[in-house]
Copies of this chain bind each other. A is one copy, B any other.
Amino acid sequence: MGREAVIELLEQRREQHLAELVEWTSIPSISAQSQHVPDIQRACDWAADYCRAMGMKTKVHPTAGHPAIIARHDAGSDAPTVLLYGHYDVQPPEPLELWDSPPFIDNWGSGEAVGGNAEPVRDGMLFGRGASDNKGQIFAHLAALRAWFEVGGGPPVNLRLLIEGEEEIGSPNLGEFVEAHADELRAKWAVVSDGPMLSPEVPAISYGLRGLAYFQLDVSAASVDLHSGTHGGAVPNPATALAEFIATLHNPDGSVNLPEFYDAVVPLEATEREALAGLNFSDDKYLNNLGTPGLIGEEGYTTLERRWARPTLEVNGIWGGYTGEGAKTVLPSRASAKLSCRLVPRQEPNAIEAALRQACSERLPDSVRWELQVFAGAPAVLTPTESLGVQAAMRALKAGFGADPAFTREGGTIPVVADFQTVLGADPLLIGFGLAEDMPHSPNERFRLECLFGGIRTSGVLWDELSQLS
């Protein structure tokens, strides 16, 4: 049977797979920073070449932003069609000085050495930006699919592989792209591996993703920075105005203070709260792992509920005035903040933008100017947990990791998953191979090699399991 031969081949190739992933991860395909456009192209070509080499019909499509890859394999009209989604772009690696090994090994492109001197592969993990999110996880599928081509001429399903390059900036062009290519991409299931397992021993299927609405707010007053002695006390200070505005965005009970913010929120059901409470999550262990002096959040909810199932508003960045060494007595002419909301089902990104805009208009003083830019918007996703596809994915995860998977939700966002449901009619199968402690988006991002190899085994089994549902 094909499955066993595939697994055997995959087990023989561990070193080769790691070497290939190291190569891909070394490319600084940072979608947010325009100077990395050539790296984006290289990382895209790397994946497209990999797909072509194994025998998939592969095309790189330009978009209004970074290119997207569609690769396809047809197993026959009686086989089910499955969409597999991932992304080749990564988050910016800053702050660089906190990396113990280079975020992009020796391929940073600037000629400068950045990051520490530690070995990128150490302690059973590969360290690098994108190692887990998402190159490592999507590569697990690519490796397994190649084995299927070698052993049996391809996996026993009709496969539509979509790898994009703008996930980390909110996939601004992918919704339109999916609509334009809906006929080609239409599938029964959408497999997405871009999230964490419950623990290194326990794999997970996620049935919920939070949505995202991401903004930049710029506040300005005088046309240039001024002497804070000569003008302080009389000229508006945009940094103060911005701080005072941000301070209005949460209520004393930790809830978000934007107009009608909770109106569309679907309340958590008692059965789900019980299930989440049963996941053996420890606040103390979590707090200690992160090194924070305390936890916070919306009153009346547990930490997992706050992270996975309740909407939030966070300051992702703030800057203005003099931020260098020592004292500079300047009255800033402008100050800015990156603000984002994580959304739960029924909250609409457009409505959140309108609410934030209304709050800016009502709460910022007339003595300053303000401008709100929208960087990303995606609704939340909830998927059915009882389907045959989910059962098949559970069997594959058990085969890959040797343990029954848990049902979880995810606090993060994969913007396009909502489109897979609504545009393509595909039920998401969210089977992440990462871990919460992989530090995605943080310095020293890593991917545990056991997760890589377990993910590869899972993918080796998954296509066979799904093919039996047709």
Q: A residues near B, CB below 8 A?
A: 31-34, 91-92, 94-95, 98, 168-170, 196, 210, 212, 214, 221-237, 239-240, 242-244, 246-250, 286, 290-298, 303, 306-307, 310-312, 314-332, 335-338, 340, 342, 365-369, 375-376, 410-413, 436, 439-444
Contacts and interface: CB of A to CB of B under 8 A. Distances in A.
B290 A226 contact: yes
A458 B212 CA distance: 64
Given A231-B411, A330-B441, A314 B240 contact: yes
A443 B224 contact: yes
Nearest to A224: B442
Given A92-B328, A224-B98, A316-B330, A295 B212 contact: no
Name the residue among A246, A327, A413, A443 with the largest chain B CB count within 10 angstroms. Answer: A327
A196 B330 CA distance: 17
Contacts of A296: 234-236, 365, 367
A297 B233 contact: yes
A235 B413 CA distance: 17
Contacts of A338: 321-323, 327-328
Contacts of A376: 327
Nearest to A301: B233
A411 B225 contact: no
Contact of A325 (B32, B225, B320, B337): B32
Contacts of A168: 327-329
Contacts of A307: 230-234
14 contacts: A32-B328, A34-B325, A210-B229, A212-B229, A224-B443, A225-B441, A229-B342, A235-B295, A235-B296, A243-B315, A293-B368, A294-B365, A295-B367, A316-B330
Contacts of A237: 314-315
Contacts of A323: 317-319, 336, 338
A369 B291 CA distance: 11
Given A243-B315, A318-B243, A319-B318, A324 B33 contact: yes
Given A222-B292, A233-B310, A293-B368, 11 more contacts: A34-B325, A95-B225, A210-B229, A221-B294, A227-B440, A232-B307, A234-B306, A244-B246, A244-B250, A292-B367, A315-B335
A332 B292 CA distance: 12
Contacts of A233: 297-298, 306-307, 310-312, 314, 342, 411
A324 B32 contact: yes
Nearest to A298: B233
Nearest to A214: B327
A129 to B, nearest CB: 12
Nearest to A216: B327
Contacts of A290: 222-223, 226, 231, 235
Contacts of A439: 224, 226
Contacts of A327: 32, 168-170, 214, 316, 338, 340, 375-376
Contacts of A247: 243-244, 246-248
Contacts of A239: 246, 315, 317-318, 337
A226 B98 CA distance: 13
Given A237-B315, A329-B316, A94 B322 contact: yes
A441 B328 contact: yes
B169 A226 contact: no
Contacts of A95: 225
A110 to B, nearest CB: 15
Q: Which 5 A-B pairs have the closest CB atoms?
A: A229-B412, A223-B291, A294-B367, A247-B247, A32-B326
